């Protein structure tokens, strides 16, 4: 969902970049220090340890392809299977307490007891409905009933999951997928600050980033992508040698317009066979490429909107990475704890037209923002806007390829 191209700060400090695959995404960190390679390596090692910790304790072990659960995959999986965890780590207890806090804060729109319901939709979504059944309204109501009759008791290091019965098909399950990555990202951010690293860009996949300052003390430029790709065929023109696409004027200067041509593809691939100097607009993911001296380079991204961010976290919830149209509506992974269906999906929800396509929240705590973006996305728009005003949140909302609300100010 994010593009931070164009941020190329210059400094006496050296930039260090690392990538790590965890929590079903790629975590990337770029930070600046003058303390050398060995120091940077130790920093990156600690960052990976933090993400590994929360990945290993918060996964519920569910595989939507086989529709099975590895009950020994993590502390959380053990708790879900046995309903009691005797010696829970402080990390899991703190995360569960935080999830309960967010459940209360969002009036139940973030709900940690949605595991059973999420599993049912995740199988249907992962397999595009081809070999998995869509939950029926009756099944959904049963899941919601069990979810609403589940609670959590924490006594020292003992955690008790109350509700449900001792049958794996008839018990509510804890799912921390909507909060664990943001929580871990906030832990990493606090670690970086504690060792004096304030110049960084931490990208936790398509939904969450934490931004410090760049070494020039300026803002990062963050682009928020379209949810379903660039929404229409663009109006392309060249004015005084500058390429313009709709209302967006790129940085490319066309020296000889008579020899210039532009093509675009809806296939998600950069076309080959172009001459040096050609510019290629890839419409599937709204990116602009330039081929020069035989090398194709990303020039810029055509995005829904751009914001300037410094010393803030940004979290977005949208179906852009996980969705398909099953003919009745768009199926995705953001399930309402009140209707039991993906927000905006007609089944079991007469209010299905009254939802946004994406929610971006800007603030100071990526754990809280991760839960908030999830909760706000599954709120009907009128409830969402009231909640934003009541809690003084900075948000950007989109629907049908347009920004419909933006109260974020630098």
The tens digit of pLDDT for each residue in 351-408 reads 999 999 999 999 999 999 999 999 999 999 999 999 999 999 999 999 999 999 999 9
Structure tokens at 18: 């690392």
Residues 372/361, Cβ–Cβ less than 8 Å: yes
- From residue 109, alpha-carbon distances to 94, 161, 211, 254 in Å are 20, 20, 27, 50
Contact indicator for 113, 164 with CB cutoff of 8 Å: no
Distance CA 344, CA 380 (A): 9
Contact 207, 382 (CB under 8 A): no
| Strand order through the sheet with 236-239 | 236-239, 242-245, 248-253
pLDDT of residue 102: 98
User: Per DSSP, which regions of 329-377 are E strands?
Assistant: 330-332, 358-363
Under the banding of pLDDT at 50, 70 and 90, the label for residue 169 is very low
* Over residues 135-149, mean pLDDT: 93
Percent of the chain with pLDDT strictly greater than 90? 60
Q: Measuring CA to CA, which residue among 295, 292, 271 is closest to residue 281?
A: 271
Reported confidence tier of residue 325, pLDDT bands at 50, 70, 90? very high
pTM above 0.85, yes or no: yes
Does 12 score more than 60 pLDDT?
Answer: yes
Mean pLDDT, the chain, whole residue set: 88
Q: How confident is the model at residue 9 (pLDDT cuts 50, 70, 90)?
A: very low
Mean pLDDT in residue range 290-317: 89
In terms of Cβ atoms closer than 10 Å to its own Cβ (0-12, 13-18, 19+), residue 129 is middle
pLDDT value for 6: 46
Q: Give 3-state DSSP helix, strand, coil % of the chain, rounded to 5.
A: 25, 30, 45
Banded model confidence at residue 298, pLDDT cuts 50, 70, 90? confident
At 167 the pLDDT is: 47
* Per-residue confidence (pLDDT) for residue 180, from 0 to 100: 92
Written as six digits, the tokens of 327 are: 């003919």
Residue 84 confidence (pLDDT): 93
Say what percent of the chain tops pLDDT 70: 93
Per residue in 183-201, pLDDT tens? 999 999 999 999 999 999 9
Per-residue pLDDT tens digits for 229-275: 888 888 888 888 888 888 888 888 888 777 777 777 766 666 667 77
- Give me the phi and psi of 179, to 5 degrees please: -140, -25
Nearest to 314 by CA among 322, 306, 326: 306
């Amino acid at each position: 969902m994010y593009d931070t191209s164009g941020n190329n700060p210059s400094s006496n400090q050296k930039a260090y970049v690392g990538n790590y695959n965890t929590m079903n995404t790629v975590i990337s960190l770029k930070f600046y220090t003058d303390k050398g390679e060995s120091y940077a390596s130790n920093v990156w090692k600690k960052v990976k340890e933090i993400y590994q910790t929360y990945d290993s304790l918060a996964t519920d072990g569910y595989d939507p392809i086989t529709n099975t659960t590895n009950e020994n995959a993590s502390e959380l999986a053990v708790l879900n299977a046995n309903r009691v965890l005797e010696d829970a780590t402080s990390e899991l207890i703190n995360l569960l307490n935080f999830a309960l806090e967010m459940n209360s804060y969002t009036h139940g729109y973030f709900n940690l007891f949605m595991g059973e319901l999420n599993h049912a939709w995740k199988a249907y979504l992962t397999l595009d409905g081809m070999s998995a059944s869509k939950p029926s309204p009756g099944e959904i109501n049963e899941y919601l009933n069990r979810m609403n009759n589940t609670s959590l008791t924490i006594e020292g290091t003992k955690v008790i999951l109350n509700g449900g019965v001792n049958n794996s098909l008839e018990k509510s399950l804890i799912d921390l997928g909507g909060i664990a990555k943001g929580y871990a990202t906030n832990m990493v951010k606090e670690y970086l600050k504690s060792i004096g690293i304030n110049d960084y860009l931490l990208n936790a996949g398509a939904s969450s980033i934490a931004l410090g300052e760049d070494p020039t003390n300026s803002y990062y430029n963050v682009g928020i992508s379209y949810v379903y790709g660039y929404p229409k065929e663009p109006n392309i023109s060249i004015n005084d040698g500058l390429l313009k696409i709709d209302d967006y004027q790129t940085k490319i200067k066309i020296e000889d317009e008579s020899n210039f041509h532009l093509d675009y593809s809806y296939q998600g691939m950069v076309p080959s066979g172009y001459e040096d100097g050609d510019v290629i607009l890839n419409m599937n993911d709204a990116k602009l490429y330039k081929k020069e001296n035989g090398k194709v380079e990303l020039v810029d991204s055509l995005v829904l909107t751009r914001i300037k961010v410094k010393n803030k976290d940004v979290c977005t919830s949208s179906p852009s990475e996980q969705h398909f149209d099953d003919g009745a509506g768009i199926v995705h992974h953001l399930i309402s704890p009140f209707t039991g269906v993906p927000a905006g999906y007609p089944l079991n929800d007469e209010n299905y037209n009254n939802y946004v396509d994406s929610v971006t929240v800007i603030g100071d705590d990526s754990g809280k923002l991760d839960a908030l973006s999830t909760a706000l996305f599954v709120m009907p728009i009128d409830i969402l806007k009231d909640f934003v005003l009541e809690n003084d949140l900075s948000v950007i909302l989109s629907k049908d390829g347009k920004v419909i609300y933006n109260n974020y100010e630098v």
